[in-house]
Amino acid sequence: MKKITVMLLLACFLITCGCAPVVKVNEQSMQIQQEQAAYNKEHYPVVLEGYNSRNEKQEYIYNKPPQRIIAVWQDTIELLLALGVGDRIVAGMGVPDKKYLRPEYQAQYEKIPYTSLQNLDVETIMMMEPDFIIGWYSTFGSKVLRGTDFWLSRGVNTYIAPSSRASAHQNKLEEEYEYILDAGKIFDKNERAEALVKEMQQEITFAIDRTRQMPQRPRGIIMEFLGKEVRTYGEKTLAGDIFTQLGGELIAKKDTLSLEQVVDLDPDVIFLVITERNYGNEQVFLDRVYQNKALSHLRCAREKRVYTLPLYAVYSAGVRTYDGIKIMARGLYPELYKE
């Protein structure tokens, strides 16, 4: 009866307000949400130090693994799917299209009762009766899903992806490892979380161990087109940290560059960051390099060493950090990955 009531309230609300998102209700998935997933009670309570919506450190206590989850943005959804707890997600928001998820996660994603690129409003989320909300720092803004205190006061635990915080701190691979391992502790999936992190660390080690004798490290730029200029991703970004941990030399010292400055730097390799609104249009951005009179004469353009890099792999990336590592490792050291 409770399941039916929640579904009817959700449907009525969306019809009356004329919202754009399409609500996808799956009866079987909703039934799963009503059942308590088994867990080892000896592993709880779990106490973690995280962050609140004021960007302050705060202690969070989990007396049992969450059962009804609101997950916002692709990285959080894929992390939960990778840990095998996707059947507990009642709403997954922020994915442009399921085709951008890893193939092995797509069927599981389809079973989530509500999925959309757009966020549900707070009232509708409350009707879903979540016990856990996971997302970026921006997720818990006053004009988005409200602050962490709002939810904690209602018995809903929250988790902010560490690298999404609003600060000038340096985003490092270690933050993504922490993110994955924290989720493993919250859901009593420690072995799986540790395996995901180990896979990333091994890929870094593979590239470094086999290129130690290189006489010169590859020089490169990670950039995103902004009109007539480009935004660069430096050493304080996750993309930049992956690049440098792989042994590359980031040569752009400014946050923005003109195309003329890119030509003057003459990088060995360029990685073009593609944001979510442009997923699927990667060739358009490659053409902006290969068909530009000045950029087409760069050595990396002549050697076809310009690669696209999806934002989901280099910003608060979670399990997709592995994709970022692989893309950059292959771009920096193509000889290591020749088939």
In this structure, the answer to whether residues 221 and 299 fall within a common structural domain is: yes
Instruction: Please report whether residue 166 resides in a domain.
Output: no
Residue 173 lies in a domain: no
Give the total number of structural domains in the chain.
2
Determine the pLDDT at residue 253.
82
Is residue 194 assigned to a domain? no
Asked if residue 180 belongs to a domain, the reply is: no
Q: Which residues of 82-96 are buried (b: 16+ CB within 10 A; e: fewer)?
A: bbebbbbbbbbbbbe
| Cα 122 from Cα 334, distance rounded (Å) | 47
Provide the pLDDT for residue 47.
Answer: 97
Same domain? 128 vs 253: no
pLDDT tens digits for range 48-79: 999 999 999 999 999 999 999 999 999 999 99
For residues 155 and 215, state if they share a domain: no
Do 142 and 228 fall into the same domain?
Answer: no
Please, what sign has the CA dihedral across residues 238, 241, 243, 245? negative
* Cis check: omega of the bond before 218, within 30 degrees of 0: no
- Domain residues for the domain of 92 are 2-160
C-alpha 154/C-alpha 180 separation (Å) is 26
Examine the domain organization and report whether 15 and 84 are in the same domain: yes
So what's the pLDDT on residue 225? 94
Say how far apart CA 251 and CA 311 lie, in whole Å. 20
Q: Are residues 258 and 318 in the same domain?
A: yes
Task: Among 160, 191, 219, give the residue marking a domain's end.
Answer: 160
Helix (H) or strand (E) holding 273, with range, is strand 269-274
Tell if the pTM clears 0.75, that is, is over it: yes
Q: Is the same domain home to 221 and 75?
A: no
Q: What would the pLDDT profile of 70-127 be if each residue is shown by its tens digit?
A: 999 999 999 999 999 999 999 999 998 999 999 999 999 999 999 999 999 999 999 9
Q: What is the pLDDT of residue 171?
A: 85
Last residue of a domain, one of 143, 160, 177: 160
Q: For residues 28 and 108, is the Cβ–Cβ distance under 8 A?
A: no
End-to-end CA distance of the chain: 57
Same domain, 222 and 291: yes
CATH of the domain at 55: 3.40.50.1980
Does some domain include residue 201?
no
**Considering the domain boundaries, does residue 322 fall inside one?**
yes
9 plus 149 within the same structural domain: yes
Residue 89's nearest CA partner among 73, 105, 107, 113 is 113
Q: Are residues 150 and 11 in the same domain?
A: yes
* 222 and 313 fall within a common domain: yes
- Cα-Cα-Cα-Cα torsion 20, 21, 22, 25, nearest 10 degrees, comes to -140
pLDDT per residue as tens, the chain (339 positions): 434 444 444 444 333 333 333 334 444 434 434 467 778 889 999 999 999 999 999 999 999 999 999 999 999 999 999 999 999 999 999 998 999 999 999 999 999 999 999 999 999 999 999 999 999 999 999 999 999 999 999 999 999 999 898 665 678 999 999 999 999 999 999 999 999 999 999 999 999 999 988 889 999 999 999 888 999 999 899 999 999 999 999 999 889 999 999 999 999 999 999 998 899 999 999 999 999 999 999 999 999 999 999 999 999 999 999 999 999 999 999 998 876
Q: Phi/psi of residue 70, each to 5°?
A: -105, 120
Q: What are the backbone dihedrals phi and psi of residue 160, each rounded to the nearest 5 degrees, phi first? A: -105, 125
Residue 169 lies in a domain: no
Question: Which of 126, 160, 194 is the C-terminal boundary of a domain?
Answer: 160
Amino acid 7: pLDDT: 44
Residue 197 domain-assigned (yes or no): no
